[in-house]
Amino acid sequence: MAYLCNVVETYRVETEAEADALIEEARNNNLYNLTKSSITHKEIKSKGEVVEEYYLVALTKFVQNHKEPNISMRLIYDVDF
């Protein structure tokens, strides 16, 4: 049996407001504890000019202690195209 203990996820969002909302949503989730989060502003430049901006949001989620796990949990990824 496999026990999920920690998860680190990285998301790309277009605005800082979206990044803040994503972190707030993770803080309020009762399936895990958010132990760390960060926002990194990224720029794509062409010929010295910024042509695109976005934000990377990293979330570290603690599910359970790896020394004494008691919940079997699997991640399910749902894709929107």
Residue 67 in any domain: the answer is no
Domain limits at 24?
A: 6-62
Q: Is the pTM of this model over 0.85?
A: yes
Whole-number pLDDT of residue 73: 83
The overall average pLDDT reported for the chain is 95
- Flag whether 51 is in a domain: yes
Mean per-residue pLDDT, 23-37: 96
| Three-point CA angle 21, 27, 29, nearest 5° | 105
Q: Is residue 74 part of a domain?
A: no
Q: Establish if 1 belongs to a structural domain.
A: no
Q: What's the number of domains the chain is made of? A: 1
Cα–Cα nearest to 52, from 60, 41, 63, 62: 41
